[in-house]
Structure formats: C-alpha cells, structure tokens
Chain A
Amino acid sequence: MNAKGQDKMSTTREITLGDAMKEALAEEMRRDEDVFLLGISIRAGTFLYTKGLVDEFGGKRVIDAPLAEPGNFGVAYGAAQEGLRPVLDWMYAGFSYFAGSEVFLQSGQYHFLHGSQHPLPLTMIGTCGVGRRVGNEHATLPYGALIHHPGLKVCLPSTPYDAKGLLKSAIRDNNPVFFLWHTSLMATKGHVPLEDYVVPLGVADVKRAGSDVTVLASGLQLHHSLKAAEALKDEISVEVIDPRSFEPFDLDCLLRSVEKTSRLVIVDEDYERAGFAAEVCALMMEKGYDLLDAPVKRVCHPNMPIPGGYIDAYSMPTPDRIEAAIREVCR
C-alpha cells in the first residue's frame, strides 16, 4: 500500500505493522521515563509488538498484569492521575468490555466531570477485526461504541506508517486514547521512515485519489476498498479515504472529497446499526447533503453477532461487496 507522507522522508525501510508499533513504544519509552507498558503476558509477546521490550526496559516498565481487567485499567488510570504516562494493552479490544464502566464511563469522562482541571495521559491498545474465525469476543470492533461515549480519542491504522505515527501521538496526548489495530494487519508491510515523526489524531488520509465516488474505510477494510477500487479502475474512478481516527474525525477531508465526487460509500467492519458508518451518514445529511448526487451507501457487518467458523469470511465486508456497493451508487 502507499501511505501518503512517507515520500518526504529521507530514510525509509519496509517493516511490518507490528514492528512499527514496537518502534513507537520503544522510542517513546526511551524518550520519557514516565511511559510504561502493562498487559497480560506482554513480556513474552502475545503479539509481536511487545516481544523483547522487557530486555531493554526491564520488568519495572514492561509488566505482565494479572487477569483482572478492571484492576489493570486502574493501574493505568490511577498512575496517569499521578502523572505517569501508562500504556495499557488489552490484548483483544473486546476484553476491555470486562472493565466496561471504567472504559466507557470513566476514562474519557473523568476530565470533564471533574472540572477540566487534570489531564489523563492514558493509552489503551487493543486488537479487533473479523476474519480470524474465533467469534465475537476476539473480533468485536469497539470504535463505534467508544466514540459514542464522549471524551475518548479512538484510532485504527491501516498501514505501518500510520500505526507508528498514531501510536506516538496517542502516547504524547494528554487524554485517554484507545489505539486499535486490526488483527489481520499485524504482518502487513510498508515503508516507515527512520526519523521521528507523528501522525496527528484527527487527520484523515487520501489513500487513493479518484473523481467519481468516495469510499471511506479503515483498517483491513481500507485494503479491501483499495482492492475494489483497483478492480474498477477502467470503469469508475474511486477515491479512498482512511479516517485514521474516529475521534477526532476529519470531516473536512471527507467533505472536500465528496464535493469532487458527489457520491459516498462507507465501509465499516463493525455492526451496521448505530455504528461509525451511521454516524458519518448523519454528518453527511447535516453538513454535506447538497454535495451528494446519490444516497450514501453503507457496507457493514450485518446486525447479527460476529460468528466464528468459516461464516465470518462472508459476513464481513469483502472487496466484492464493496465493489457492488460502489456500482450501486454510481448507477
């Protein structure tokens, strides 16, 4: 894939999304002693991006936590209130629901409800995504539910470049940030510069320029959308936009694109009902209705639990379903 912005950088190399995350963590931990990492079995590295970090930073800063999600959240939350900059790894983002009240009602809402006087520099990491055949707890994509609750920032990268830059922004932010990554993209490779850089939260990226229709997609679905765009290239010119973060959300970038294309397809691997795609539809009605020549189309997970087994391969949005949706709005 071709992440915008990397061309300017002098020294780049190809690394995986997991390695990009690991570099972000290691560099931020080197930069700031207050940054520490806590999660279940992270020293061994349940996922690639924490493997080996304990060798450099020691057990004081890379901590295997018990199976106690509210307690682990509390370590991060309390330490952040005391001025440290914790990074809490949930392993699977769905596991964070075990500390549901803490995540949804406490983390993002503490600052406002307590008079906006005290920062909460807290990063949470969790993986999500359909397609691993293991069902809802391990697959659920929480960003729609997370942004429904004001006060959290939420992002999901589609490339190694974005993963590293967004994770650095998250750690440096003075608010709780939920950094999601898609389980199917861990080994995806891409160019990442050697120099320090950040990808700001709230800046979308045009991953493919086009003129006939805009497709908004994140994570794995960004790649599915690029595939669909490529397949259609001789018939329809598709612009593909990656919001990169859901909150803050770069509505201006989307509106600029739809001003050009007049058509919008939103691809969202989360359940269709009341999710991020529905939110963007509503924003388009309020802020971009006059730009549209056709109704907005959503391609989402149907409103049924994310199944395990072989079924998940076709219950999720696929390049074929996205292609069909693009054709429909361009009729």
Chain B
Amino acid sequence: MALNGKQKKLLFTNLVRAHALDRMMMRIIRAGKMVGFYHEGGIALAPGVAAGSFLRQDDAMNPHYRAHGLAHMIGKGVDLRTYVAEHMGRVDGCCKGRSSFHVSFPDHHIFGWSGNIGANFPPCIGYGFAARYRGTDQVVMNCSGDGSYQEGRAHEAMLMSANWKLPHIFWCENNGISQSTAASETFPVQDVSRLAATFEIPALIVDGQDLFACGEAALKAIAHARAGKGPFFVELKTYRSQEHNVGGLNNEGAVTRDPKLMQEWRETLDPVALAAAKLIKQRLYTADEIEQIKADAEREADEIELFCEASPKATPSIDELMNGVYAQ
C-alpha cells in the first residue's frame, strides 16, 4: 500500500520526535533521575513509529517495550508527559508513580503492561475477541521483539487469533537478539515470521530501517485486520546497536559485540537520515524544513522533561495506596 506525501511527512515527524524522546530518556537516566530501568531505542525506532501512526484511538495497542514504547505511542496521541513522569516516580505519572515503567492509557486502548516478556500476547487475543464480540472494526496492534516469540504464549495467540479470525496484528520487531542471545541460536528458522505460516497467517518481512517500508506494511496489516480477514504478521528487521538495558552488557553469548560494528550500524543504518534523504529527493521537505522538525522535536522533549521535573515525587500514604487495590 503506497504512502502519500502527507503520510510520509507524518511518519517522519513522528520518527524525529521519537528520537528526541529516546535521547531525553537517556539524559534523564544518566542524570540519575529515572527510578527504574530504560531500554534504549537507538536506531530501532522506525517500526514502532509506523505501528502507531495510522491507528485510531479505539484500536488497541501493545507497544513494544524497547524505548519503552515511546515511538509506538507518539502516533497514538497519548499524553506522553504522564508516561515520562511515571518513569520519574511523579504524581502526574500515568500510573500515579506506582509502576516505574508501565503504560496505562485506557482511553486510548493501551491498557497496561507486565514485566514479563510475552505477557502481551494473551491480552491482545482478548482485545481482538472483544472487537469481534461487539461487531466493531477495531484492530489490535501487538508489538514486541523476536525474544517474545520464543514464549509459548506467542504461539497460543497465533493459534487462537487465526482460528477465530481476530483482527490481531503481530508486529515483530526483530533485532536478531534477545538480551544476550542471538535469534539464530534460539529459532530453528531464519525468519520469525515463518512461524506464522503454520497458522496460515499472512506475513510480510520488512526492512525496519526503512521508515516508509514500515509505514506501508502498517497500512497493509491494518487494512487486512480491519476488513475482518483475520490476523496479519509483520516482521521488521532491525538492529540493537547498544547494550540491552542502560548500564547492562552488550554481549552475544559470552562475547562482547564489536563496538566498531555497532558504530558502523549507527552511521549507516540511522532511519532518520535514510528517510530524510528520501524526503529531500522526493521534494517533500527541504533540508531547512527538516532542521525545523528536529528543533521542534527537541523543544517538545525539553518541555516534557521540565513538566516532569516540576511534578512532585509521588509519596502517597499507605492508606491511600490500600484504597487503590480494588476498584469500586
């Protein structure tokens, strides 16, 4: 599904914003202001931006935890200030400062997270089920990494979504590694999307560094699911050019991954630079306009940081917390 100029511009702006936010998160954690951990997005943000940019507010989404879903949720239109505030343990946090990293935007059908990789699959079956039960045309954008497809829950979700023809998009951001173990060591197949064939789920493999290829794949998957044709699988090949989590190791097995190779990836596979070159060539943006988009994105990130700094630390009483265990 070809993208028009407006869609390309939207994707690009969102990608630049995602990068600015990812760098802001790195500033915050390095300054010791983040309460939990952070998993840098780096050059792997194009798939997430594409996944979120064309959804409706009532479409359910599970953002991939890499870059803590910031790229995915930009397009979904949630108030990202409250999400960053959550990472800083502030009263304005989307979970009232109780989680350190959970998403919670029920009005946008982004309901929540678990710290367990693979925990995204079962609820996403439920979101698809609910859409079918009510006869709506909502879709479910279920984003996660290659590692999550090692979990049995992924296979159950493919089985059930295919069997019941649920509008469930399996959006697999494959960076070839899960913590410190290469995908080639854990999968008997080269492409994770091959698994979908067993369940007769149509699949696409996409260059995850090519923002517009990611966007086209998103449009195709969403159209398929929205039309009631059942689940769709998109595998986006991308890269992790840094350690798994900030302060952790960048290993493959017992061996440190080559810093020169990481540097080369960052230089040659930067999705912002690749997309900017195309936009200029296609005369959709001038170099100046691109600089302006970047400056706006930096300002947005700075404003979010200021908002979070100004928000008081959440220090609720035990009584207040105890009153929050059950819903009325």
Taking Cβ atoms with an 8 Å cutoff, the residues of A that contact B are 36, 60, 66, 68, 70-84, 99, 101-102, 105-106, 110-120, 150-151, 153, 174-175
- Inter-subunit contact B324/A82 (CB<8 Å): no
Besides A66-B159, A74-B123, A84-B130, 14 more A-B contacts (Cβ < 8 Å) are A60-B133, A66-B156, A68-B159, A71-B157, A78-B60, A81-B106, A101-B119, A102-B119, A112-B324, A114-B95, A114-B104, A115-B93, A115-B94, A115-B95
Task: Tell whether B160 is near chain A: CB-to-CB under 8 Å.
Answer: yes
Does the CB pair B326–A82 fall under 8 Å? no
**Contacting pair B127 A81 (CB below 8 A):** yes
- In the complex, what distance in Å separates the CA atom of A75 from the CA atom of B156? 11
Given contacts A110-B112, A115-B98, A175-B326, is CB(A77)–CB(B123) below 8 Å? Answer: yes
Which partner residue on chain A sits nearest B96 by CB separation? A115
- CB of B152 within 8 A of CB of A111, answer no
B109, CB-defined interface residue at 8 Å? yes
Q: What 8 A-B pairs come out closest when comparing CB atoms?
A: A78-B126, A74-B122, A116-B324, A71-B156, A82-B130, A78-B123, A114-B104, A68-B156
Closest to A118 in B: B106
Asked if B194 is at the interface of the complex by the 8 Å CB criterion, the answer is no
Inter-chain contacts of B121 with A (CB < 8 A): 70-71, 74
What is the number of residues of chain B that contact chain A, defined by CB distance less than 8 Å? 43
Question: Once the chains are docked, how many angstroms separate the CA of A105 from the CA of B152?
Answer: 18
Most buried by A among B109, B127, B326: B326
Chain B positions 143-175 with a Cβ under 8 Å from a chain A Cβ = 152-153, 156-157, 159-160, 163
* A77 contact set on B, CB distance < 8 A: 122-123, 126
**A74 adjacent to B159 (CB under 8 Å):** no
Query: Contacts A77-B123, A113-B98, A118-B111 given: A174-B328 contact, CB under 8 Å?
Result: yes
Instruction: Tell me which of A70, A77, A113, A115 has the highest count of chain B C-beta atoms within 10 A of its own C-beta.
Output: A115
Asked if B124 is at the interface (CB within 8 A of a chain A CB), the reply is: yes
Contact B133 A36 (CB under 8 A): yes
A105 to B119, CA, bound (A): 11
Q: Count of A-B contacts with CB under 8 A?
A: 137
Residues of A within 8 A of B160 (CB): 66, 68, 71, 75
Known A-B contacts A78-B124, A112-B324, A118-B111; A71 and B102 likewise in contact (beta carbons under 8 Å): no
Q: Chain A residues near B324: list those with CB within 8 A.
A: 111-112, 115-116
B148 to chain A, nearest CB (A): 13
Residue among A78, A81, A99 with max Cβ neighbours from chain B (10 Å) = A78
CB distance from B241 to the nearest CB of A (A): 31
A71 near B99 with CB under 8 A, answer: no
Contact A116 B327 (CB under 8 A): yes
Q: Is B326 touching A111 in the complex (CB atoms < 8 A)?
A: yes
CB contacts under 8 Å to A, within B312-328, are 321, 323-328
Closest Cβ of chain B to A122, distance in Å, is 10
| Contact of B286 with A by CB under 8 A | no
CA gap between A175 and B325 in the complex, in Å: 10
Which A residues lie within 8 Å of B111 (CB)? 78, 81, 114, 118
Per the bound structure, the CA–CA distance linking A110 and B157 in Å amounts to 20
Chain B, residue nearest A113 (CB) = B99
Taking a contact as CB atoms under 8 Å apart, the answer to whether B119 and A75 are in contact is no
Q: Which of A68, A72, A78, A153 contacts B130 (CB 8 A)?
A: A78
Residue numbers in A under 8 Å from B326 (CB-CB): 111, 151, 153, 175
Could you say which residues of chain B place their CB within 8 Å of the CB of A81? Answer: 106, 111-112, 123, 126-127
Residues of B contacting A116 in the complex (Cβ-Cβ under 8 angstroms): 96, 323-325, 327
* Known A74-B123, A114-B112, A115-B104; contact A79-B159, beta-carbon cutoff 8 A: no
Which residues of chain A are near B131, meaning CB under 8 Å? 82
Please encode chain B, from 89 to 125, with 1 for each CB lying within 8 Å of some chain A CB and 0 for all others. Answer: 0000111101100101010010110101001011111
B129 lies within 8 A of chain A by Cβ = yes
In angstroms, Cα B327 to Cα A153, docked, is: 11
Q: Hey, which chain B residues are within 8 Å of A82, CB to CB?
A: 60, 109, 126-127, 130-131
- Can you sample 28 A-B contacts with CB below 8 Å? A70-B153, A70-B156, A71-B159, A73-B122, A74-B123, A74-B153, A78-B60, A78-B124, A78-B125, A78-B128, A78-B129, A79-B129, A81-B106, A81-B111, A81-B126, A82-B127, A84-B130, A102-B119, A102-B122, A105-B116, A110-B112, A112-B321, A114-B95, A114-B98, A114-B111, A115-B93, A115-B104, A118-B112
